[in-house]
Amino acid sequence: MAGEKPRVTRRGFLAASGVALLGAAVAGSAGHAAAGPGTARLGDFWLFGRYDDGCTEPGFDEIDLAPVQLPHCVTPLSWTGWDPASWQDRWIYRKHFTGLANERFLARFDGVLTNAEVHLNGRPVATHEGGYLPFEVDLPGVLPGDNVLAVVVDGRWALDVPPNLPHSAGPSAIDFYQPAGIYRPAAIGTVPRTRLTDVFARPVDVLSPGRSLHLTCTLDGPGAAEVTASVRQAGRELARGAAQVPAGTRTVEFDVHGLDAVRLWDVEDPALCDVVVTIRSGPRALDQRVVRVGFREARFAQDGFFLNGRRLKLFGLNRHQWYPFAGGAAPDRVQRRDAEILRRELNCTMVRCSHYPQSSAFLDACDELGLLVWEEIPGWGRVGDAAWQQRNLRDVSAMITRDRNHPSIIVWGTRVNEANGTTAMYGRTGRLARQLDPSRPTSGALASTTGARYAGADIEVLAYNDYTARRGAPFQLRPPRAGVPYLVTESIGTLAGARAYRRTDLPATQRLQAELHAKAHDLAAADDRYCGLLAWCAFDYPSGWQRSMGGSKFAGVSDIFRIPKPAAAFYATQGDPLVRPVVEPGFAWDFTASPTGPGRDAPIWSNCDRLLLFLDDRPAGEARSRRADFPHLPHPGFAVDLTVPRGQRPQLRVDGYLGDRLVVSRRFSGDRARDVLSCAADDTQLRADGADATRVVVAAMDRFGTLRAGATGTVTLSLTGQGELVGDRELDFGATGGAAAVWLRPFAGPPGKLTLTARHETLGTATATVTTTASGSEGGSRS
Ligand code: GAL
């Protein structure tokens, strides 16, 4: 359908059907205008297989290659116990596309793990090292007619690329597995001969009415005479500015004034602005980019963190990007969902992207939801040789250039996590960061093992992974280091309390995790010198670090399926009860493990003022506030003594009050005979573009809808409709703790319907249905 007019979207030009969508695919918050028709769309089929001699040649026999769609992982995975041998190899991805005479073609990759070698029609055109940052490849010599882009993907550990260290014990030498593949979006398409390759729009003097926006625009190609910028908020233009482009200039800087009416960006009101930047030659527009910014002042000080001049205790978790079955290859919608879980369900004001730059879709969602971000370069525990450190510098540059327009990002982790590199090395990364972005501080998380020492003079935020409290000892945090802004970037994890927190672990272990998270945040809240605390961690993740755990780290407050564990209840209750009143018992109302109930001092997490209890609808007392245990938390929760005579299984009801007003009432059934199976999709509508997907949670529930973690047995799944089930067809509830999830991914094609049916021997059958809209239409809505 070449010749159709591209539609303008927030992120740039989304091409009409069959036409390239460059820009939208890779640029994150920076959209890009594609001037002409291309051929490949995100999610279109690529041919994939193991590397073979001649596989980059145009005439290679493709009979043994499989059609796949991006994002893609080279190997199917389970939800735990990943085997690095399954991805540690060289792989080939081939894409046929139709070239056009007199057009400039470009390929863009958001992320390829770990190294990529790009060939066009048998000719090597580029290489890229490192799996977490985007790269673009100019494709000179595209022929009219059929062309082949071949990408050799090398997923072996032996590569001397951060976070990998070649002289260490392989993929288990660091605490997260990294399955290979073109695992983030990619696209091939045409671009204008003269184009904008980058726009950095930096808000200046944000809190004064004379605030402005400083623009740094990078151009590629001849003939542009003028750059214009229009700043828009909520559909209205607030201000505009322009600058001339002297001949031969690559970078143009100018300021846009008149922004006194702008609404500031804040965690509670993340008001964004679009900045539409156009380059022109006379009246003719040569290229256009839309970047999204937010006006906010984020300040780390010795007495805390301040957002727009207001003290804000940073309350959050670390996030790894790994998913069951797909590794890192989760599409945008699924990435965005993690940000929603963190902000809306767990009430976090901040997330740390541990330990590498994460997907643009995730960061876009952080901007939209008001979730502050720590972003850091790839690395874990050690630094490598001079060449390796050189790659750190390149990563600092690529990370900041990709992400500096995101208002959610408030600090750059320019030092390798828990690796005390040299002062000279950190001096270099820090200087480069300041040059690329003078508006944010730099930092890097220090390890407990080395203490809160830092060998450099220019420290802006001292970040400390505080595992001072070891297993079995009373929980404590190290006192803040004086004379410097201080942030706790990790705590708890599996180093304090227990080695693993699974729904299948003892009730006391599961309770303990919630207690530790509450205690850590309470201690951080007690002292203004803590800017905040980001605990370890949001979601379980595959790792070979603790082999005794079978290839996973069960450190999350939610599991790897993103299903909350009891510790998540603490986070869920730290939000405003007027927005979402929550009552979450910290115990299972299940008489199998404890026949007389949860016993004395059983925790109930809640943000209500008062909780009244009922057993079989008969009053059973009022819960005690835990204010004395957690003096500084907004909502310290409650404790109750709940012992019932052996053999009885009464129904528990908890009524939550704000003042005299009943705001929430929940019932919990002790009768497992009436448990049911539930099957619930996060979204009711998806785009049939081959990339979009949604999660379906399959869980054993009591008859009031509370997860029955002690359920066992196998759930068998079947899918009808044009799509793929990303996940196991059999889920073992005994191993996952009564709940698990799979993802549904419609094939690219016409609209339709996907129905997932789940069957369990005693819990019955449940279904989830998702409708799919034609690719390109604005599909997608929440259930
Ligand atoms: C920290 C590390 C994290 C994680 C944690 C243990 O030292 O920074 O990535 O491994 O320990 O759960």
409: β partners: 373
Task: Provide mean pLDDT across the span 384-406.
Answer: 96
Contact indicator for 733, 739 with CB cutoff of 8 Å? yes
Q: pLDDT (tens digit, 9 = 90+) per residue, 706-740?
A: 999 999 999 999 999 999 999 999 999 999 999 99
Lowest model confidence (mean pLDDT) among 141-155, 338-352, 587-601:
587-601
SS (H, E, C) 405-440: CCCCEEEEECCCCCCCCCHHHHHHHHHHHHHHCCCC
Total-model pTM: 0.94
Residues 65-82 as b/e (b if ≥16 CB within 10 A, e otherwise) read beebbbbbbbbebebbeb
Q: Which amino acid is at 752?
A: G
Say what the pLDDT of residue 13 is: 21
**CB 11, CB 34: distance < 8 Å:** no
Ligand 1 centroid–CA 19 distance in Å is 44
445 CA to centre of ligand 1 in angstroms: 11
C-alpha span between 190 and 715 (Å, rounded): 47
Cβ-contact 457, 502 below 8 angstroms:
no
Pocket test for ligand 1, best of 536, 540, 547 (most atoms within 8 A of CB): 536
Q: Find the 738 Cα to ligand 1 centroid distance in Å.
A: 27
CA–centroid distance, residue 424 to ligand 1 (Å):
25
> Smallest Cα–Cα separation from 79: which of 693, 551, 691?
551
Of 68, 64, 40, 66, give the one whose Cα is nearest residue 54.
Answer: 64
- CA 467–ligand 1 middle distance (angstroms): 9
Q: DSSP state, 113?
A: B
Tokens describing residue 26: 């890779």
302-354 residue pLDDT tens = 999 999 999 999 999 999 999 999 999 999 999 999 999 999 999 999 999 99
Amino acid 426: pLDDT: 87
Whose C-alpha lies nearest to ligand 1, atom 9?
Answer: 175
Please give the structure tokens belonging to residue 423: 């002062």
| CA 524 – ligand 1 centroid, Å | 19
> pLDDT tier at 469 (50, 70, 90 boundaries)?
confident
Measured between alpha carbons, how far is 715 from 733 in angstroms, rounded to an integer? 7
DSSP state of 41: -
Sheet holding 195-204, edge to edge: 195-204, 212-220, 251-256
| The predicted structure's pLDDT at residue 9 | 25
Nearest protein Cα to ligand 1, atom 10:
175
Does pLDDT of 783 surpass 90?
no
Which residue has a Cα nearest atom 5 of ligand 1? Answer: 493
Please compute the mean of the pLDDT values over residues 699-707 and round it to a whole number: 97
Predicted confidence at residue 38, as pLDDT, reads 39
Distance from residue 448's CA to the centre of ligand 1 (Å): 10
Instruction: Using the atom order of ligand 1, give the atom closest to the CA of residue 448.
Output: 7
Closest ligand 1 atom to residue 381 Cα is: 8
Percent of the chain, pLDDT > 90?
Answer: 84
pLDDT range class, residue 29, cuts 50, 70, 90: very low
What mean pLDDT do residues 71-93 have? Answer: 96
Question: What's 475's DSSP letter?
Answer: P
Per DSSP (E only), the strands in 566-637 are 583-585, 599-606, 610-615, 618-622, 624-625
Q: 6 pLDDT exceeds 70?
A: no
CB atoms within 10 A of CB 631: 11
Q: What confidence tens digit (pLDDT) does each residue in 234-253 have?
A: 999 999 999 999 998 999 99
Buried b vs exposed e over 547-583: b needs ≥16 C-beta within 10 Å? Answer: eebebbbbbbbbbbbbbbbbbbbbbbbbbebeeebbb
The Å distance, Cα 190 to ligand 1 centre, comes to 43
Distance, in Å, from the CA atom of 190 to the CA atom of 100, rounded to the nearest integer, reads 9
- What tokens appear for 259 in the block? 């922004």
Confidence band for 23, pLDDT divided at 50, 70 and 90: very low
CA of residue 464 to ligand 1 center, whole Å: 12
pLDDT surpasses 80 at 415 = yes
Mean pLDDT of 197-212: 97
Question: Contact at 8 Å (CB) between 752 and 746?
Answer: yes
Q: Which atom of ligand 1 is nearest to the CA of 354?
A: 9
Give ligand 1 pocket residues (Cβ under 6 A).
175, 354, 417-418, 447, 465, 490, 493-495, 536, 553, 555
Residue nearest to atom 4 of ligand 1 (CA): 175
Which residue segments constitute the domains of the chain, with CATH numbers given?
10-191 (2.60.120.260), 195-293 (2.60.40.10), 312-556 (3.20.20.80), 590-668 (2.60.40), 673-774 (2.60.40.10)
The arithmetic mean of pLDDT across residues 163-175, rounded, is 88
Q: Does residue 601 come out as left (phi exceeding 0), alpha (psi in the -120 to 50 range) or beta?
A: left
Q: Which atom of ligand 1 is nearest to the CA of 445?
A: 8
**CA 553 to ligand 1 centroid distance, Å:** 10
The whole-angstrom separation of Cα 439 and Cα 433 is 10
Please answer whether residues 515 and 501 qualify as being in contact, where contact means their C-beta atoms are separated by less than 8 angstroms.
no
Mean pLDDT value across residues 54-76: 97
Looking at per-residue pLDDT, the higher value among 218 and 158 belongs to 218
CA of 175 to the centre of ligand 1 (A): 7
Closest among 514, 613, 622, 591 to 558, alpha carbons compared: 514
Ligand 1 pocket, mutate which of 174, 465, 537 (most atoms under 8 A from CB):
465
Tokens of 453: 């020492």
User: Considering only CA atoms, which residue is closest to atom 3 of ligand 1?
Assistant: 175
Most informative mutation of 172, 174, 175 for ligand 1 (most atoms within 8 A of CB): 175
Residue 354 CA, ligand 1 centroid: distance in Å: 9
1 pLDDT above the threshold of 50? no
- Angle at which helices 386-403 and 360-369 pack, to 10 degrees? 50
Q: Which atom of ligand 1 is nearest to the CA of 543?
A: 10
C-beta separation of 701 from 677 below 8 A: yes
**What whole-number distance in Å separates Cα of residue 691 and Cα of residue 743?**
12
